[in-house]
Amino acid sequence: ERAYEARVGGAESSVLDPLAVQYADYAAWQRRILGTADDPGSVLGRELDFWRGALEGLTEEHGLSLDRPRPAKASHLGGQVDIDLGADVFERVTAFARSEGCTPFMVVHAALVAALTRWG
């Protein structure tokens, strides 16, 4: 609140004291806890081994029909499609999300993943 009021009042510098812990401190702590990717005995090494095994053999592309041929090199450009679920579906998704302790986005995302898994 103090920082916001100071900024709104035209202050150029922060009125807050510097933090005792900086991001570099967190990064060093994280490296100590996780270890390195090249150490198979570290937490990070074991996690990477798990996911490499879990994802081994999966195809890079799904089997869904596409709207157009894809180029050999992906541009990674994206877009969005806006849809109206309707108030009744929105309320049901929101209520379900609340009951499961997650967000409506997570519910819709899980539904999309389930559909792609089923028909992909």
**Is 10 a member of any domain?**
no
pLDDT, tens digit, 9 for 90 and up, residues 44-62: 999 999 999 999 998 877 7
Residues of the domain holding 94: 87-119
Structural domain count of the chain = 2
Global confidence as pTM: 0.47
**Is 25 a member of any domain?**
yes
* pLDDT value for 2: 76
Residue 6 has pLDDT above 90, yes or no: no
pLDDT, tens digit, 9 for 90 and up, residues 63-120: 777 888 888 898 998 889 898 989 999 999 999 999 999 999 999 999 999 998 888 6
Residue 31 has pLDDT above 90, yes or no: yes
**Is 34 a member of any domain?**
yes
**Alpha-carbon torsion 63, 49, 110, 70, what sign?**
negative
Whole-angstrom distance, CA of residue 53 vs CA of residue 47: 10
